[in-house]
Structure 1
Amino acid sequence: MTTVIDPAADAALKARHAAMWALGDYPKVARQLISGLGAELVAATRIGPGDRVLDVAAGPGNAAIPAALAGADVVASDLTPELVASGRAAAERAGAQLDWRVADAEALPFGGAEFDAVISCVGVMFAPFHERSAAEISRVTRPGGRLGLISWTPEGFIGQMFAVMKPYAAEPPPGATPPPLWGREEHVADLFGETFDDLTMERRTVAETFAGASGFRDFFKANYGPTIATYRFVGDDPERVAALDAALDALAAEHSDASGRMEWEYLLVTATRR
């Protein structure tokens, strides 16, 4: 079944998404919590000199900058202008040369078969219509080119955090798919199985440590756009705010050891364009 897209409604939705990711300080989240994932993705996708690479939903450049430092010709694209600006500044500090573009993952402004590798590190999973962004990734990857993705799993901590926040958040747009499904093997196979071969999927974890459950909650309330947006949605209801506080604290406590250390699960995907 083909979904009919209303251009005006789609533009308004994307404007809201871009504004959400500009809330707080996502570059701080990426820098302090998941800085190593980008280099891991670049290595898994075998990116190096001579490769033309697209990072979709690149954020502040966690994967795009390591790809450029590995010698690739990199385009870093993201829906949120503030993240593009932050990534450009980070690349300059790192001495990396990249082409930065404000772009929608569901309507990439690039030609077909333009890239040797297309990657996304916990980025494209947040585009609301998964089939559209997957089709765009397939379109711009050349035959024989590589795909590399890192996505949070539904069963892992971040996937569970979104499940906890869902009752307190605004309703998603009609037809949207939950972001953590990009971390489920069957879903990825459905999205890319007809256009990519050699689909390899491996669940891994990254360790994070906070000063107790409230330390996690306070950090995300201050810095992570989706969490900030959820609190704003219930901000005029003190009881719901308190209930959300308690739910996030309980989730963090469940996933933490005595030292406040957590293991966050993600799915690493690599494949070759048919």
Structure 2
Amino acid sequence: MTDTTHAAPGIHYGAAPEVKQKHRAMWALGDYPAVAAEIVAPLGGVLVDACEVGPGHQVLDVAAGTGTVALPAARAGASVTASDLTPELLAVGERTARAEELDVAWHEGDAEALPYPDGSFDVTTSCVGVMFAPFHRAAAHELVRVTRAGGRIGLVSWTPEGFIGQMFSVMRPYAPPPPPGASPAPLWGSEPHVLDLLGDRVDEVDTARAHLPVDRFDDGAAFRDYFKTRYGPTIAVYRTLADTPERAAELDAALADLGDRHLSGGVMAWEYLLLTARRR
């Protein structure tokens, strides 16, 4: 079965609702469902396996998008709640879950203020999702809070040094300044940063760096054009450059060069950090 509760009761956006609205709109740009299905999808299975998700588990996938983790977790027999700020992404995952008759509830929710009681879930996950919540400490607090004592937390995050982390570094000089107090998303892929965020509220922490092989692009220009039309953060940056075509051309060249430098034998290796831990 599948249940939908878009705009779930109890959702709140803290002190900066305009920031959340901008993030929601950004991830609705382009075609992130295609990026998730064509590139990111294998990471969902990685996280489900790492967290040993199985029948009887109550699982929350935070910043779930179209269900990269939620869907394979449900296929493994878990009862899953998928929470995301962007209802357009949830709707795509919901259609898949309905077609497969999977046990997934789809809730609109803010990763920094999750609308669930303390200790509600056996397993709490996020796959390249919660890392994009701008206020990292608030998001980390929520991940721990909603996990039961002894429950497992599992995260996959792009690393600062890896391909996607470098892509954001390339885009940063062309993007508007972040909101005050916000932290760069790829810091979630830095072991010291994420361990500091989780603190002494977790134990049995295990971290490992690995690479997602990506063989979709013939050259850096093909990568750039794919992200310019499908990936919300990249589209948003280019929109700010609409009146400065010379800067847009600079960014075009920089992203194509980044892609070319990371292609080897027709394959890119996108580094990510896999973290699992138990709540004390």
Secondary structure of 2:192's counterpart equals helix
Q: Give yes or no for contact 2:58–2:79 (8 Å, CA) kept in 1.
A: yes
Mapping of residues 84-95 of structure 1, within 5 Å: 84-95=90-101
- Within the candidate set 226, 234, 240, 1:227 is matched to 234
Separation in 1 of the partners of 2:90 and 2:70?
Answer: 11
Matched to 2:239, the amino acid is R
Kept after mapping to 1: 8 A contact 2:83/2:107 = yes
In structure 1, list runs of 5 or more residues that go unmatched: 1-6
Q: Name the TM-score, length of structure 1 as normaliser.
A: 0.96
Answer yes or no: is the 8 Å Cα contact 1:54–1:117 preserved in 2: yes
2:276 to 250, 263, 270: 270
* Identity fraction in percent: 57
CA gap 1:62/1:128 in 2 versus in 1, 3 angstroms: same
| Conservation of the 8 A alpha-carbon contact between 2:14 and 2:113 | no
Deviation >3 Å, runs of 4+: none
1:47 paired residue number: 53
Match of 2:82 among 76, 83, 93: 76
Shift of 1:193: 2.4
Separation in 2 of the partners of 1:94 and 1:215? 33
Q: Pick from 213, 222, 233: which aligns with 1:215?
A: 222
**Residue 63 in structure 1 maps to residue 69 in structure 2:** yes
1: CA distance between counterparts of 2:181 and 2:143? Answer: 20
* 1:65–1:91 contact (8 Å) kept in structure 2: yes
Q: Which residue does 2:137 correspond to in 1?
A: 131
What one-letter code is carried by the residue in structure 2 that aligns with 1:25? D
Number of the residue aligned with 2:259? 252
Quick check: 1:171 aligned with 2:177? yes
Tell me if 1:99 matches 2:105.
yes
Contact kept, 8 Å, 1:213 with 1:260, in 2: the verdict is: no
Deviation string for 1:55-76 (max 9, x for gaps)?
Answer: 0000000100111111111100
Q: Residue in 1 aligned with 2:42?
A: 36
Structure 1 position 170, deviation (Å): 1.2
Which of 144, 153, 178 is matched with 2:150 structurally? 144
CA drift of 1:177 comes to: 0.4
In the TM superposition, what is the alpha-carbon distance from 1:8 to its structure 2 partner?
7.7
- Is residue 243 from structure 1 mapped to residue 250 from structure 2 by the alignment? yes
CA distance in 1 between partners of 2:278 and 2:48 (Å)? 15
Shift of 1:121: 0.5
How far apart, in 2, do the equivalents of 1:26 and 1:80 lie?
A: 11
Deviation (angstroms), 1:194: 1.3
SS of corresponding position for 1:59: coil
Question: Is the 2:167–2:258 contact (alpha carbons within 8 Å) kept by the matching residues of 1?
Answer: yes
SS of the equivalent of 2:210 reads strand
The equivalent residue for 1:18 is 24
The AA in structure 2 aligned to 1:18 is: R
Aligned residues: 267
The 3-state SS of whatever aligns with 1:46 is: coil
Distance 1:94 1:222 in 2: 29
Q: Deviations over 1:86-116 (max 9, x none)?
A: 1111222333220000000000000001100
